[in-house]
Every structure is written in C-alpha cells, then in structure tokens.
Amino acid sequence: MAFVRYDDREFFDALIKLYHEHYKGHLIHCLEAGAKVIFGSWYNCSMSAGWSPTIYRECFLPCIKEDIAITHSYGAYFHIYDDGKFMPIAKDLFDTGMDVISTLCPPPAGDADPVRLKELAKDKVVLNGYVDLVKIRWGTPEEVAAETKYAIETMGPGGGYMLGTSDSIRDGSPDENVAAFFKTGLEYGKY
C-alpha cells in the first residue's frame, strides 16, 4: 500500500477519506451518546504497521487532529493507542492536543524512550504504559519489578503518568511476575 501513495496519490487520499469519514461517524455517535473518553486506535496507520514518519504526518496526523478537535468539542478526552514504534512522530502526536497516549512499548518491539517522552509530554499529555508485556510473560519477578520501578521513577515525577503495561498482561504470565508488577507499582507509585 505504501507504493500506492506515490503511484496514485489521488486514490490513496480517497481511501483515507473514505475510512476517516466512516470513523468520524462512529466517533460522533459515541460522543452524542455521552462518551467521556474516546480510545482512538490509529495503529493500522502507525509506523509499526510500516508507514513512514512522512506519510504519517502528511496523511494520518490531520485526521487524528480532526478527531481530537471533535472529541474536545463535546467536552471529552481523547486517548490514543499505539503499541509499537512512534518516537520519530512523538512530538507531532503530542502537539495534536491528545489527552493520553498508550502503550509506550519499550524496545525491541517498540521504541519508547521514557526520558524523552517525559520531556515531550510536559503537562500536555498523560503517558500510560511502558512495562513490557513480554517481560511480564517470560521474564523474572526481579526484571518486572526493576522495569516497573524505572517507569515510575522516570515518568512519574510531577504527575502525568499512569502505570501500565506495553499492551496487556497475557494469559500464561506467571503469577509471581504479575504480583511483582502490582507490588512494585503500589510501593513506588505514590508521588
């Protein structure tokens, strides 16, 4: 599909418009029904799905900005989901006016840099996630505790961070690893 963008930009733009108009219809329906938080997933248009930062900025970011403006016009919050690589466009995303971003996936599956994200987010965006679901599933309790503590200590000061995983806690995750995540969160998550 990335080649279509260059070979037939008119067709590519028409596809994006078709999808976005459909999406906006659902968005407005939810907001008119009283939704107070919109969980917007543009994951299929993310860099993890193969799109370049340039295409993301040109083609998808304007749609996201429009969705956020619509959401805010109803007095609701916009929470965007991307569980992959997004650091090259993080500032652009944060400048859209979004309220929350998840899941801050660390390397190797993602590229989240907690120090840089905290700098970029300032008081504009709440950061949610980071603790690697792979580590929770296959790591040790000590590794889970260390990464959980690091996430809190790096992104927590001054507020604007919600402890979470890089997507979810998967079936088969050892109970002791899940316990280490929550115990460490309770111990260090007060600031």
Give the separation between CA 47 and CA 82, rounded to whole angstroms. 9
Q: Is the pLDDT of residue 1 over 80?
A: no
Task: Summarize pLDDT for 68-82 with one digit per residue, the tens.
Answer: 999 999 999 999 998
Give the separation between CA 83 and CA 104, rounded to whole angstroms. 6
Tokens of 190: 């007060």
Give the separation between CA 84 and CA 86, rounded to whole angstroms. 6
Is residue 77 within 8 A of residue 36, CB to CB? The reply is yes
Looking at per-residue pLDDT, the higher value among 47 and 24 belongs to 24
Bridge-based pairing state of the strands 77-82 and 37-41: parallel
Per-residue confidence band for 5, with pLDDT thresholds at 50, 70 and 90:
low
Give the separation between CA 63 and CA 57, rounded to whole angstroms. 10
Tokens of 76: 């609701």
pTM for the full model? 0.91
Local structure of 134: helix, strand or coil: helix
Per-chain mean pLDDT for the chain: 93
Query: What is the structure's pLDDT at 125?
Result: 97
Q: Where are the domains of the chain?
A: 2-188
Query: What is the structure's pLDDT at 71?
Result: 98
Task: Summarize pLDDT for 73-129 with one digit per residue, the tens.
Answer: 999 999 999 888 999 999 999 999 999 999 999 998 899 999 999 999 988 999 999
Query: What is the structure's pLDDT at 7?
Result: 79
DSSP assignment letter at 115: H
How far is Cα of residue 80 from the mean position of the Cα atoms in its chain?
A: 5
Topology of the domain comprising 2-188: TIM Barrel (3.20.20)
Angle between helices 61-73 and 9-32 (to 10 degrees): 20
Q: Is the pLDDT of residue 180 over 50?
A: yes
Q: How many CA atoms lie within 13 A of 27 on its CB side?
A: 25
Tokens of 92: 């652009």
Q: What is the number of helices (H) and of strands (E) in the chain?
A: 9, 5
Is residue 133 within 8 A of residue 170, CB to CB? The reply is yes
Give the separation between CA 36 and CA 130, rounded to whole angstroms. 24
